[in-house]
Structure 1
Amino acid sequence: MDIKDLTKVESQLMQVLWKLEKAFVKEIISELPDPKPAYSSVSTIIRILENKGVIAYEAFGKTHRYYPLITKEEYMLYETEKLLDNYFSSSVQDMFSFFVREKKVDMKDAEQLLKMIDKMED
């Protein structure tokens, strides 16, 4: 599947759909933080997501119930690979050392990750 980049707002709506699995626009809006966006705004973004091929719908008369066509894990993998390719020359080691240097990962976490990797290699 060819995954497309999502804007911040599109990603926020996808988070809701991944959580709810299937939802009408009103249900999506109810999950969003206050102040709630207008129904028409959410509906427009939903149509954009549909055009990007990441959601589809079931028709119930004039209303539609939307559902994701990609999993959260598929999108996370896509975004992670994009991050690796664009900023770290596809090197997990370079990315990991960056996070350690920036104190986003402390040494205790780093040790736990290394133990996890060792177990996976066995």
Structure 2
Amino acid sequence: MKELTRAEEEIMQVLWQLESAFVKEIIEHLPEPKPAYNTVSTIVRILQQKGFVGHEAHGKSHKYSPLITKETYTKTFMKGFVKKYFSGSYKQMVSFFTQEENLSVNELEQLLDQLKKKSS
């Protein structure tokens, strides 16, 4: 699974929230300044080529829906992120964020528990 660009992820966030939508509806849920219709349409087609989005024809327009769940993408992305930046070690990642964010022992334990559940 390929990593999404920032623009692609923004559109996927809307599709995950709405579950299915026309390009016009996607635009309505994007923050200001709103991108052009053609821009969003192009990004949705790219997402379709990447296998993230499917469509259903409604006359001349298409209603798009995610083919990949947010959870599946997040899990895959996090594994790649940890591998790329922390040599595949969740402990190194947690250690880094503990130092940066001054997490308490309790918060650290909760974070480790969540990571273990999600990587299973």
TM-score (norm 1): 0.87
What percent of counterpart residues are identical? 53
Deviation at 1:112, TM superposition (A): 3.6
Which residue number in structure 2 is paired with residue 19 of structure 1? 17
Deviation per residue, 1:26-67 (Å, 9 max, x gap): 000000011111101100111110111110100011000000
One of 40, 45, 50 as aligned partner of 2:48 = 50
TM-score (norm 2): 0.89
- Structure 2 gaps of 5+ residues are none
Query: Could you tell me which amino acid in structure 2 is paired with residue 20 of structure 1?
Result: L
Poorly superposed stretches of 4+, deviation over 6 Å: none
CA shift for structure 1 position 83: 0.9
Corresponding residue number in structure 1 for 2:92: 94
Q: Secondary structure at the match of 1:6?
A: coil
For residues 4 and 113 of structure 1, what CA distance do their matches in structure 2 show? 26
Structure 1 unaligned runs (5+)? none
CA spacing shift, 1:62–1:69, aligned 2, 3 Å: same
